Structures are given as structure tokens and as C-alpha cells.
Amino acid sequence: MPKFIFCTGGVVSSVGKGVTVASIGRILKARGIRVSIQKLDPYINVDPGTMSPYQHGEVFVTEDGAETDLDLGHYERFVDENLTRASNVTTGQVYAEVIAKERRGDFLGGTVQVVPHITNEIKRRIGLAAKETGADVLIVEIGGTVGDIESLPFLEAIRQMRKDIGREHVMYIHVTLLPHICSTGELKTKPTQHSVKELRGVGIQPNVIICRSDFAIDDNLRDKISLFTDVEKEAVVPLVTARNIYEVPLVLEDFGLGKLVTRQLDLPDRTPDLSAWRALMRRIDAPKEPVRIAVVGKYVELPDAYISVREALFHACLANDRAVDIDWILSEDLERDKSFDRLTQADGIVVPGGFGERGIEGKILAARYARVHKIPYLGLCLGMQVMCVELARFVLESDEPNSTEFNPGTHYPVIDLMPDQRGISEMGGTMRLGHYPCKLVPGTVAARAYGEDLISERHRHRFEFNNAYREMLNKAGMEYSGLSPEGNLVEIAELRDHPFMLGSQFHPEFKSRPDRPHPLFREFVRAAAETERQGKQKKLPM
Ligand code: GLN
């Protein structure tokens, strides 16, 4: 019988509830408990795959090809367990299922209602995630904050679960913010009192309150919160903004949260083994020389849009004993002759994934700069596609080569739709998604980086390398170092006679872990660190 920890948020969003939940997962896993995490999102979209990064940040892709909330990236990086399609549930999915049943006649003439039909479907999906992952403990994060109209059915469902499966199997953790008033230098508990009152109003009494704050939280404040909320003082857990997100599991464990949870859920109280995690933190804290990486993208004002890329670079730098210094360059700036000075300062260039035409020419310029000046380059999905377009433009001495995504009528469709993508008009969930095998060609940079000949990586794209251009670009210095097992799809392309210029059609960033950096990121950063050591940035104009 799995146990459940339900995490709600209070006061405001964006206080790091996802990282907190992921950290709870880590401290339980450190006790030998099998943990999985699920996120319930109250919006009506079926998944975030169709949402703009401005609305939602990154779309995280699971092994089984679900397009999910970026918090799942935190969960996988902290708990190091692969999640599935069942790990992210939205209101849209819940209603779609219930309405489909109603149309089939499953409700036998009954009136279909939020309680019990919607809440039952939510509970069914929570149970499914626990069953599918075989977890001893499923941690469930409820998106948004208590008091939102749209999260009510989720709160009602998790309230019922305590009665359904028994008190000793269910626990509620509420994550809030203590705002700081500058003029008086105080932290305020009132918003927390109100949000707990709201939670109690829907019948949920939290067992633990985690208080986020940018300043130290003294004992009096914890007393006060305890008094007003009926939560034991020892279960009012302060969580002051950490130097680094990977510190959060240690802060929570050192305060005693692991013990509180195991006691509440009647789990064996084993001593946690967080030695590897503590060693990781010591390595993070050790002084290191920086390496500067330019990330040339379209949503750079919003780093949440590239959160897995940022983390993968951080992991790879750590493995190379370097501090990461990311310069986020707006690709459109390069088109307007701006920001080139920043590109010339970079020891390495990343062009991440993306959709749509805006900023594409700037990305092609970044690829050209990297190729001509032999600056390490890592292309992720769209970044691989622009690397191929750039080389074709050079070979053909023309600006005509393109992806048909950006110029459907181009005479040189270097990147094009695969036949099985033609004629698809539905936008949601119809791309090439999730894990696919890839064979590496011995002797290539990619094969050396992985040290394996068959790998599996996660995809999220519609367009592919057009095989009609294989020979032409090969003659110009491009190797196809990763291919689908049948050999018909180019999954990795790299350049000969370059310190490191490689692009992958998949997204390696999703599989990077703090203690297990992704091989392509690791080798890219190694090459960038070498560029920095040699003081090699040419600071040349284009
Ligand atoms: N827009 C490109 C495609 O659909 C690349 C997608 C991506 O970078 N994830 O193929």
C-alpha cells in the first residue's frame, strides 16, 4: 500500500515549491524508500506542449514522450528516477476523460458532477501514478496556490484520500512565503496564517508548514505560526533561500524534516545516506575558474524557458571543475548587428531548441561564428538544424538553404518534414516525442563522449535532416555520428577539423543529472574550458 504526501502552496507562486518537493523526494530516497513524484496542474490545457514558453517556461519531456511541466525536470534531477506520462495531470486531461466517458454512456443516465466524478478521476490518476512507478511513497504537488478557483477539485480530491486510505498513509505539507518588509526589517506571518485558514476551510489541516523566506526566520515567528495554525512548532520548517538549489535537501534534512515525515507516515526511520549529495555540495562550493558559455536563443529574457539546458551546463561545468558563467544572448540581436561583442567573449556557444521563424537568422550567424572561429558549439534540436543550414549556405554560397519550417518554398530544404509528419494538422502531442534509440559511429566525437555504441535519447520535434544533403555536407566536413538504427534519420551531426562542433536532433539536457552530467555537455564544456585556457577567443568581427 503506497503512502502519499500532498504538497500545496500558499501566499504566492514561484517560491520554489517544485524544488522543495523534489528535495523531500531526495531525503526520503536517501533512506532507501522508493519515491516517485506527481504534479497536478489546474489549467485546462491537456498538456503544456501547446503553450508559449512565455506562459509556461520549458516543456519537459519524459522517456515515454509526455510533454510536461518543468517541475518534472527538478524531480528527475533530484530524485534520479524516470517519470512517466502519469506523473503530470492537468484539469484538461481530467475533464477530457470524464466527458469521453459521458459520451460513451458510462454514467447510465446520471448527472455528471465535479464531486464525485471529477474528483474520482483525479483520485484514479493519483493511484495510477503510484501503481505505475511502484513507489512506497508518492509525493503529489498541487500546482498554483490555495484559494485559486481552479485548484478546488484537486484539494477536494486529496482531502477525501485521507479518509479513503487512512490517516497513517497520508500527509499534507503546505509551502508558504514569509514576505519581508524593508522599512521595518520584519518578516510577516499573516499571509501564511490566512493561507492555512483557507486550506482548513476546504478541510485540510497541514501536518507540516515549510516557510520560504529570503531572510533568517527566528523562533518567535515559528511560535506564532504554530499558534495560529495548530501545527507543532517542530513542524514549522524554515527554508531560507539557499545559495544553490541543490543545497535544499540538506537544509530540510538538517532541520529534521525526514524524521517528521517518516514518523507521520509510520515509515522505518533509517539513517539517511546523503554522503554523495553532501560531497556534491562541497564540490559546488569549492572555488573554480569560470567558463563563459553564450546561449543564443529566442526566450533568453526568461531563463525558465531553458531550465534543463541551464542545469545541464551547470552539471557539466562541475564535472570539469569549472564555474558556469552563462551569457544569455537574444538571437534577434545578432541579426541587428547587436551583441556580437558578447559572442566573441564566449568560450563556447549553445543554440538550444525552439520553434518558429523569429530569431532564426541570428542563430545561423552564431553557428557560422562558431564554425569559422573554431569556438566549441553545441546544438540542441533546432541548434543542430541551424548548424546544418549554415553549412549548406556556406557550401552553396547562398542564403537560400533553410528548414521548410521557416521557408516552406525553399529550393534547398536541408531540414524538412518526414513523410509521416505530412498532413498532421493537430498541434497537441503529435511531434516525434520521447525516447528513441540511436547508433553511434565508432571513432566520432559523439562515440568517444558516450563510450557506447547504442544510446537512447529524448526527442521533441517535427522536422528532420533531409538525406538528400548528406553527401554534399559530408564533403564539406560534416560527419553523421549518430543515426537511427535503420540508418535513415540523422540524430547527431558533427564537424571534422573543429575542436567541438556537434548538434543532436534530440534533447540531451533532459537526461543530465547533478552527479551524472550528460556526456555531450561534459565534452562540450571540456572543449570550451580548453578554449578559455588558451585565451583563444579571437574577438574577431564576423
Ligand atoms: N522546430 C524544430 C522542429 O520542430 C525544432 C524543435 C526543437 O528544437 N525542439 O523540428
| Full pLDDT tens readout for the chain, 542 residues | 899 999 999 888 778 899 999 999 999 999 999 999 999 999 999 888 888 888 889 999 999 999 999 999 999 999 999 999 999 999 999 999 999 999 999 998 899 999 999 999 999 999 999 999 999 999 999 999 998 999 999 999 999 999 999 989 999 999 999 999 999 889 999 999 999 999 999 999 999 999 999 999 999 999 999 999 999 999 999 999 998 999 999 999 999 999 999 999 999 989 999 999 999 999 999 999 999 999 999 999 887 999 999 999 999 999 999 999 999 999 999 999 888 889 999 999 999 999 999 999 999 999 999 999 999 999 999 999 999 999 999 999 999 999 999 999 999 999 999 877 777 777 777 889 999 999 999 999 999 999 999 999 999 999 999 999 999 999 999 999 999 999 999 999 999 999 999 999 999 999 999 999 999 999 999 999 999 988 865 555 55
Do residues 458 and 434 lie in contact, with contact meaning Cβ atoms separated by under 8 Å?
yes
In a shared domain, residues 273 and 355: no
Residue whose CA lies nearest to ligand 1 atom number 9: 353
Q: What are phi and psi for residue 99, nearest 5 degrees?
A: -70, -40
| Residue whose entry in the numeric block shows the C-alpha cell 533553410 | 402
Dihedral angle of Cα 403, 408, 411, 417, to the nearest 10 degrees: 50
Grid cell, residue 166, equals 487512512
Residue tagged active-site, from 381, 479, 518, 523: 381
Pocket probe for ligand 1: among 462, 465, 504, the residue whose CB has the most ligand atoms within 8 Å is 462
Instruction: List the CATH number of the domain containing 406.
Output: 3.40.50.880
In a shared domain, residues 310 and 162: no
Residue tagged active-site, from 509, 518, 523, 532: 509
Grid cell, residue 100, equals 469521453
Q: What is the pTM of this model?
A: 0.94
Q: 444 CA to middle of ligand 1, Å?
A: 24
Of 230, 248, 280, the one marking the end of a domain is 280
In a shared domain, residues 374 and 319: yes
In a shared domain, residues 234 and 306: no
In a shared domain, residues 331 and 269: no
Residue 542 belongs to some domain of the structure: no
Beta carbons within 8 Å of 79's beta carbon, 6+ residues apart: 22, 25, 26, 29, 35, 36, 37
Find out whether the beta carbon of 353 lies less than 6 Å from any atom of ligand 1.
yes
Does residue 370 come out as left (phi exceeding 0), alpha (psi in the -120 to 50 range) or beta?
alpha
CA distance 214 to 18: 17
Q: 340 CA to middle of ligand 1, Å?
A: 25
Residue tagged active-site, from 507, 518, 523, 532: 507
Residue whose CA lies nearest to ligand 1 atom number 1: 355
507 assigned to active site:
yes
Q: 459 CA to middle of ligand 1, Å?
A: 9
Find out whether the beta carbon of 382 lies less than 6 Å from any atom of ligand 1.
yes
Residue whose CA lies nearest to ligand 1 atom number 7: 353
In a shared domain, residues 221 and 336: no
In a shared domain, residues 430 and 456: yes
Note down the domain range covering 130: 3-280
Q: 506 CA to middle of ligand 1, Å?
A: 9
Instruction: List the CATH number of the domain containing 100.
Output: 3.40.50.300
3-state secondary structure of 513: strand
Q: 215 CA to middle of ligand 1, Å?
A: 42
What is the CB neighbour count within 10 angstroms for residue 446?
24
Pocket probe for ligand 1: among 404, 460, 465, 507, the residue whose CB has the most ligand atoms within 8 Å is 460
Residue 540 belongs to some domain of the structure: no
Residue 169 belongs to some domain of the structure: yes
Q: What ligand 1 atom has the least distance to the C-alpha of 380?
A: 8
Of 253, 280, 307, the one marking the end of a domain is 280
CA distance 332 to 311: 24
CA distance 216 to 209: 16
**Total tally of structural domains belonging to the chain:** 2
Find out whether the beta carbon of 354 lies less than 6 Å from any atom of ligand 1.
yes
- What DSSP assignment string belongs to 380-448? ETHHHHHHHHHHHHHHHTSS--EETTT-TT-S-EEEEE-GGGTT----TT-SEEEEEEEEEPTTSHHHH
Find out whether the beta carbon of 355 lies less than 6 Å from any atom of ligand 1.
yes
Pocket probe for ligand 1: among 405, 459, 489, the residue whose CB has the most ligand atoms within 8 Å is 405
